């Protein structure tokens, strides 16, 4: 993907969106299922894996580290793991493409193995900070040699004598928490991560399912202390990956914005630590229903039913950010259509995503005629209750969520919206344009 030619896409106003659409598998669960399968004993079978560029890079990394990873023709994935401490030194550099989650988590996985691993990625990933991961992993006795600012390419020199640590996260981050816990798998003793705001808990849930001893203690301030007993014997599992709530956000918001729409998105993950967007949309007055809520392999899922209707501006508290950090770009698009002001608080984390998402969202919305301000880490969008003008070309800077968000904006704006490169969408939502067009959208190649 990093060498792909730009692929401009245009999104024109749709008459309505109708039908059922199965969105790709959850990216967080997909990454982790491959990693845990690679260090478990026996066979792990994964169905519903997201086959986007990011996850495929993680699959290649697991092969390079010695696990057997097979994709069957029916889309089922099979892994035969190496056991805890059994990973092998890769023969070549691990190119993680655009996969920030994959890169940070695999760094944790190899940090407690006595060999060296070099990581690189595309231009976007090479610009992203890794110090938030390398700092706690260094305390566990791993060493890191990278570019200035803690950026890729970077070599991780793992340790054969990892140290158990108790680490308090300075910033809420499921990636950092997970990297430490993954390093803790091959560490004698107990590793503890303290988070002041609860972040997505797929790592804890899945590690428990694979046989690890994980203890979660609720703190008085609403945070959590997550402890892992090192050197467990993980056993291969059958993993059913739910539909990704972050990917579902795009057709969901599109259905709310395009007049006359009614869309059903089956088996979407509604883990409470991932559902902040849907809580916010309901506060905005969205016609959104969770139908047939159920448990699927340890994760809560439901069918999402969405119908077009008016939205109103709301105040989104900063403490909700960890449960919807990837969804703020598409929420900002919804806010542009809402009546009144929407204030999204505490978005500093957006500045260090695939791009500076806070700046990218603001610049793109302003180009489409939306009034807004940024105050510190708050984004304030003033909606009129009417479709924005649109008519702009948006620079996405290799960011898949920026690309999809503005394609959704163009589905109901007065004038069509162009994104300068839709190729990045394949990292998380392969087939996005086809899925949306199947519902009635009008996305095509821009001239």
Rounded distance, CA 81 to CA 401, Å? 32
Helix pair 53-64, 100-111: axis angle to 10 deg: 20
Residue 209: which H helix or E strand, with range?
helix 202-210
Largest Cα–Cα distance in the chain? Answer: 62
- Strands 43-47 and 238-240 come out as parallel
The conformational region for residue 445 under phi > 0 = left, psi -120 to 50 = alpha, else beta, is beta
Q: How far apart are CA 195 and CA 237, in angstroms?
A: 28
Q: Three-class SS string for 239-302?
A: EECCECHHHHHHHHHHHHHCCCCEEEEEEEECCCCCCHHHHHHHHCCCEEEEEEEEEECCEEEE
The residues that bridge with 77 in the sheet, in sequence order, are 46, 71
Cα separation, 236 vs 36, in Å, equals: 8
Report residue 423 CA to chain centroid gap: 17
Residue length of the chain: 447
Q: What is the distance between the alpha carbons of residues 172 and 185, in angstroms, rounded to a whole number?
A: 21
CA distances from 205 to 209, 210, 211, 412 (A): 6, 9, 10, 39
Catalytic residue among 122, 244, 326, 399: 326
| Reduced DSSP (H G I as helix, E B as strand, rest coil) percent helix, strand, coil of the chain, to 5 | 35, 30, 40
| Cα separation, 206 vs 182, whole angstroms | 12
Beta bridge partners of 263: 19, 306
Distance CA 135, CA 64 (A): 25
Instruction: Determine the Cα–Cα distance for residues 81 and 44; give it in Å rounded to an integer.
Output: 8
At residue 152, φ and ψ (nearest 5 deg) are -70, 155
Contact assessment for residue 64 and residue 89, using Cβ atoms and an 8 Å cutoff: no
Nearest residue to 272 via CA among 250, 293, 252: 293
* Contact status, residue 105 vs residue 179, Cβ threshold 8 Å: yes
Pairing status of strand 417-419 against strand 393-394: parallel
CA of residue 360 relative to chain centroid, distance? 18
Specify whether 326 is catalytic.
Answer: yes
**What residues are labeled active site?**
326
């Amino acid at each position: 993907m990093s060498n792909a030619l730009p692929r401009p896409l245009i999104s024109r106003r749709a008459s309505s969106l109708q039908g059922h659409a199965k969105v790709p598998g959850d990216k967080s669960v997909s990454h982790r299922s491959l990693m845990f399968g690679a260090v478990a004993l026996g066979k792990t079978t994964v169905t519903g894996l997201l086959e986007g560029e990011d996850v495929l890079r993680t699959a290649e990394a697991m092969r390079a580290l010695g696990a057997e990873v097979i994709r069957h023709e029916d889309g089922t994935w099979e892994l035969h793991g190496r056991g805890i401490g059994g990973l092998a030194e890769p023969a070549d550099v691990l190119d993680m493409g655009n996969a920030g989650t994959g890169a940070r988590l695999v760094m944790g996985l190899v940090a407690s193995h006595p060999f060296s691993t070099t990581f690189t990625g595309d231009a976007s990933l090479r610009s992203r900070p890794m110090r938030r991961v390398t700092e706690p992993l260094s305390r566990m006795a791993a060493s890191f040699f990278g570019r200035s600012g803690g950026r890729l390419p970077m070599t991780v020199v793992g340790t054969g004598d990892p140290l158990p640590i108790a680490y308090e996260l300075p910033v809420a981050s499921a990636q950092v928490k997970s990297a430490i816990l993954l390093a803790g798998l091959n560490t004698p003793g107990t590793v503890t991560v303290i988070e002041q705001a609860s972040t997505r808990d797929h790592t804890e849930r899945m590690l428990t399912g694979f046989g690890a001893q994980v203890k979660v203690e609720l703190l008085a301030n609403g945070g959590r202390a997550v402890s892992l007993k090192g050197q467990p014997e993980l056993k291969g599992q059958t993993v059913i990956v739910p539909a990704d709530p972050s990917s579902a956000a795009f057709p969901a918001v599109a259905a709310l914005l395009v007049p006359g729409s009614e869309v059903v998105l089956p088996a979407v993950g509604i883990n409470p630590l991932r559902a902040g967007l849907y809580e916010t949309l309901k506060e905005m007055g969205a016609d959104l229903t969770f139908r047939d809520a159920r448990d699927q392999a340890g994760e809560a899922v439901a069918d999402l039913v969405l119908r077009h209707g008016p939205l109103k501006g709301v105040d989104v508290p900063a403490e909700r950010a960890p449960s919807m950090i990837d969804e703020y770009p598409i929420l900002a698009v919804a806010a542009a259509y809402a009546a009144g002001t929407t204030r999204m608080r505490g978005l500093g984390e957006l500045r260090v995503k695939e791009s500076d998402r806070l700046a990218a969202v603001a610049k793109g919305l302003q180009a489409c005629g939306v009034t807004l301000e940024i105050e510190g880490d708050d984004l304030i969008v003033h909606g009129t209750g009417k479709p924005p003008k649109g008519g702009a070309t948006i620079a996405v800077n290799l960011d898949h969520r920026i690309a999809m968000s503005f394609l959704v904006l163009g589905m109901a704006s007065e004038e069509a919206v162009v994104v300068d490169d839709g190729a990045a969408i394949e990292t998380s939502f392969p087939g996005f344009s086809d899925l949306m067009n199947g519902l009635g959208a009008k996305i095509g190649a821009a001239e």
